[in-house]
Structure 1
Amino acid sequence: MPLTTRQSVALSGATLLLLLVATSALAPLIAGAAWWWATAFTAVTVLGAGAGLRALRTPPSLVPPLEVVALLLALTLLFGGATSFALIIPTLDTFDEFLGLAEGAVRTIEQQSVPAIPVPALVFALAVGVGLVAVLLDLVVQTVRLPALAAVPVLVPVLVPGLFVESGADAITLVLTAAAYLLLLRVDVRVRRSAELAQEDERPDSALVTAPRRRPIVSTAGASMGLAAIGLVAASVVTAVTPSVSSSFLLGAGGPGTMFARGVSPYVELGRDLRRPDPVPAFSYVSPDADRPYFTLLNVERLEGDLWTAEERAVDGDHTIDTMPRPDGLAEDVLVEPRELTVQIGQVRTAWLPLPYPTAEVRGLRGSWFWDDGSLTVRSVDATTLGQRYDVTRLAVQPTVDQLRAAVEPPAGSVAPATRELPEELPAIIGETAATVTQGARTRYDAAVAIQAYLRSSEFEYSEEAPVDDGYDGGGFDVIAEFLEQRAGYCVHFSSTMAVMAREVGIPSRIAVGYTAGTPSNQRVDGMVRVDVDSHDLHAWPELYFEGVGWVPFEPTPGRGTVPAYSRPNAGEQAPGVVPTAPVATPEATGRPDGDPDRSLAGPTGGAGALGPGWLGGAGLVVLALLVVLLPAAIRVGLRATRRRGIRLGPSPADAAWRELTATAVDLGVDVDERRTARALAAELGARPAFAEDGDGAGALLRLRDAVERERYGRVRHSTASADAPGGDRAGPRRDALAADLATASRALAADAPAARRVEAILLPRSLRAAGRALVGRSVPRGA
Structure 2
Amino acid sequence: MHPDSAALTVRGRLALTTASFVLMVVATMSLGPLIAGGGWWWLCAFVSAGVFFGGAGLRALRVPAGLVPVLEGVVLLLLLTLLFGGSTSIAFLVPTPDTFAAFGELFTGSQRTIAQQTVPAVAVPALNFALALGVGALSIMLDLLVQIARVPALAAVPALVPVLIPGFLIESGVDIPVLVATAAAYLLLLRVDVRVMRRARIEQGDDEDVATVAAPKRVPVASTLGASLGVAATGLVVASLLTASTPSISTSLLLGNGSQGALFARGVSPFLDLGRDLRRPEARPAFRYLARDGDRPNFTLLTLDSFEGDVWAVTESPVDGDNTVDALGAPEGLGADVETSEHPIDVLVNEVRTTWLPVPYPSTRIEGLSGSWYWDDGPLTVRSVDTNTAGQRYEVTRLEVEPTVAQLRAAGDPRSVDPRFLELPDEVPPIISETAARLAGPAATPYDAAVAIQAFLRSPDFEYSTEAPVEEGYDGGGFEVIAAFLEAKSGYCVHFASTMAVLAREAGIPSRISVGYTSGTPTPERIDGVQRVEVDSHDLHAWPELYFEGVGWVPFEPTPGRGTVPEYSRPGAGQAQTSVLPTAPSSTAPSTGRPELDPDRGLAGGATDPLQNEAPLRAAVLLVVVLALLLVPAGLRVLQRASRRRRVRLGRGAADAAWDELSATAGDLGVAGIGATPRVFTAFLASRPGFRDAEALAALVRLRDAVERARYGPASDLATGGDEQRAANAAVGPRPDAALLGDLDSACRALTRDASVRDRVIAVLLPKSLADRIRRASGVRTADGA
> TM-score w.r.t. structure 2 length?
0.46
> TM-score w.r.t. structure 1 length?
0.46
Higher relative contact order (CA 8 A, sep 6+): 2
